[in-house]
Chain A
């Protein structure tokens, strides 16, 4: 099955968006997950709700909020445009922003659960051995939550590949610019006699999803083996 240039565009854009989405989300998600798992602070419940909001809200509503906040005249959007010359409207960066917001709760949840599963007694033991809290995080906590981080990456990647509602609301459906796999399938579904083309993209979606899960499983098993299988 050889791919047409148009199909290749869609796939490459989707992969680029998904990688960027996970890339920019990972560190903030790690930080928020750690805050939620390990710290008590004023407004923790509010933060928790805010992080999980994209799961429970209709994606179209999230897309509308993004339009209001990140549009060129939105509070954040105007600031980005003024200071960095970055505009998110109707281009792939906007798709990354939309997918990142939608994927963020999934990444954060997976990492948070992993952090909560780490035996804090090990961290205390490491402190008594004279390592600073930052070193303890890097040498004890982080290695022990790698399976959770991998799970978060997989979930986030899959969410980004599949995101539809927030994306189409925020940055519309522009071929070559914001048209990812689900948007392309949606367009083809509305085109007469495009059933074969739809099937081709559907199969590609399934293959990508399987590949992501297989890769993540393999990485998780590898890291579990390194952890001695006793985590």
Chain B
């Protein structure tokens, strides 16, 4: 879908990236100052790389070798900025249609009605941007970018300026965009929660250098990447299907492709649906013997696959319990339990700590 090989130096900061991404939602993850926005701006033509090559959907946008540098307005990139950047002198409708129909050559242009419907903008069309709430503004900004019929949608920390309630309002909409519109998306964030929930592919960027690229679930189970992929909040992404519902306790049973079973609370209507679950490494406890008579519902029998020392007396572990699972325990416990590779262990996870990603 896009292919970026660029180098850029700004003062003492050096960015060097080599990325290929396919359709779907690709997340660019890294701490503040890693160069995420700079990379996105080079893709959009807002910053010129020192050298390299940028290709989007088979079209060369930049090439230092061939002296090509397509200007911003001809790149067909929908950019949603951290701040909404709505035009104050246009109504919501005027903002939404500003770039509309300017881009020919797409078989099925995004329809105004569909965007307004999915983003819940129908009631806001005649309002002025100044009268909108933060969440509403960001929804309009997303709609405006979509309606310019972009070849790729760049969302640059679209939630960072919003409070938690607004974030919970926008996140499901971004998920809906994934399924409703077939537009490749580059999602920039420094929140591992958002990434785990949304991303198909994960790009880790740290201090101007690419650390890893790959499917989100794979990247999250690599112990060496934990410092870059969440750190304290690092965890595993598990894809599972809801197979049973127990009405008396509102309990759901979920099964992974490998046959692992998980228990969380939920509603009956979810039977048969697939779910993305996130288990933080720090919420996993270990036992060498089969635990009995305790409150923890999720008890997975498995073995220790790999481990490495983490920050400040912590040990990071990778388990195979029918699916890959990362765990973090103190080094003291690790040594007291005499754990080594292939030690059989039980992993214990409280149902209430499992979040729906």
B148 contacts across to A, CB distance below 8 A: 128-130
Hey, what's the 0/1 contact readout for A136-153 against B, CB within 8 Å counting as 1?
100110011000000000
Q: Is the CB of A131 within 8 A of B130?
A: no
Interface residues on A, range: 20 to 34
Report if A131-B98 is in contact (Cβ < 8 Å); known contacts: A124-B72, A144-B89, A230-B130: yes
Distance, CA A140 to CA B242, complexed state (A): 50
**Quick one: which of B82-141 are within 8 Å of A by CB?**
83, 85, 87-89, 98-99, 102-103, 128-131
Hey, what's the 0/1 contact readout for B305-333 against A, CB within 8 Å counting as 1?
00000000000000000000000000000
Q: With an 8 A cutoff between CB atoms, is A227 at the interface?
A: yes
Report if A143-B73 is in contact (Cβ < 8 Å); known contacts: A129-B148, A228-B129: no
A16 contacts across to B, CB distance below 8 A: none
Q: Is the CB of B89 within 8 A of A130?
A: no
Q: With an 8 A cutoff between CB atoms, is B346 at the interface?
A: no
Q: Is the CB of A227 within 8 A of B98?
A: no
Hey, what's the 0/1 contact readout for A103-132 against B, CB within 8 Å counting as 1?
000000000000000010110111111111
Hey, what's the 0/1 contact readout for A216-228 against B, CB within 8 Å counting as 1?
0000000000111
User: Nearest Cβ in chain B — how far from A225, in angstroms?
Assistant: 10
Q: With an 8 A cutoff between CB atoms, is A3 at the interface?
A: no
Q: For the complex, would chain A's binding face be called helix, strand, loop or mixed by DSSP majority?
A: helix
Q: With an 8 A cutoff between CB atoms, is A231 at the interface?
A: yes
Distance, CA A72 to CA B148, complexed state (A): 57
Contact of B76 among A126, A130, A143, A144 (CB under 8 A): A130
A227 contacts across to B, CB distance below 8 A: 88-89
Contact of A131 among B73, B88, B145 (CB under 8 A): B73
Q: Is the CB of A129 within 8 A of B145?
A: yes
Distance, CA A132 to CA B46, complexed state (A): 14
Distance, CA A144 to CA B89, complexed state (A): 7
Q: Is the CB of B89 within 8 A of A143?
A: yes
Q: Is the CB of B88 within 8 A of A128?
A: no
Contact of A129 among B83, B102, B128 (CB under 8 A): B102
Contact of B88 among A132, A136, A139, A230 (CB under 8 A): A230
A124 contacts across to B, CB distance below 8 A: 46, 72, 85
Q: With an 8 A cutoff between CB atoms, is A28 at the interface?
A: no
Q: Is the CB of B85 within 8 A of A130?
A: no
B299 contacts across to A, CB distance below 8 A: none
Q: Is the CB of A121 within 8 A of B83?
A: yes
Q: Is the CB of A231 within 8 A of B98?
A: no
Contact of B128 among A119, A133, A144, A228 (CB under 8 A): A228
Distance, CA A175 to CA B130, complexed state (A): 54
Q: With an 8 A cutoff between CB atoms, is A5 at the interface?
A: no
Q: With an 8 A cutoff between CB atoms, is B25 at the interface?
A: no
User: Nearest Cβ in chain A — how far from B20, in angstroms?
Assistant: 23
Contact of B73 among A122, A132, A139, A230 (CB under 8 A): A132
Provide a sorted-by-A list of 10 A–B residue pairs whose CB atoms are within 8 angstroms.
A124-B46, A125-B79, A127-B71, A127-B72, A128-B44, A130-B74, A130-B102, A130-B148, A144-B89, A230-B130
Contact residues of B with A, CB < 8 Å?
A: 44, 46, 71-79, 81, 83, 85, 87-89, 98-99, 102-103, 128-131, 144-145, 148
Contact residues of A with B, CB < 8 Å?
A: 119, 121-122, 124-133, 136, 139-140, 143-144, 226-231
